[in-house]
Amino acid sequence: MDVLSAIEARREITEFKDAPIPEGELEKLITALYKAPAGNNLPSREFILVTDRPLLSQLSKTTPYVRWLEGAAAGIVIVGNEELSKYWLQDASIAGGFLWLTATSLGLGAAWGAVYHSEDAAESLQRENYVRDILNIPAKLRVVAIIGLGYPAAEPASKELYPLQEVFHTNRYQK
In the chain the domains, ranked by start, together with CATH numbers, are 3-166 (3.40.109.10)
Residue 59 confidence class, pLDDT cut points 50, 70, 90: very high
CA distance 131 to 58: 9
Residue 39 CB partners (closer than 8 Å, separation 6+): 85, 86, 87, 90, 91
Greatest Cα-to-Cα distance within the chain, rounded to the nearest angstrom: 51
Mean pLDDT calculated for residue range 22-46: 97
**How much is the pLDDT for 42?**
95
Nearest to 46 by CA among 30, 59, 27, 24: 30
- pLDDT tens digits, 111-170: 999 999 999 999 999 999 999 999 999 999 999 999 999 999 998 888 899 999 999 999
Helix (H) or strand (E) holding 110: strand 109-114
DSSP state of 63: S
**How much is the pLDDT for 81?**
98
pLDDT at 175 exceeding the cut of 80: no
Give percent of the chain above pLDDT 90: 90
- pLDDT tens digits, 8-25: 889 999 999 999 999 999
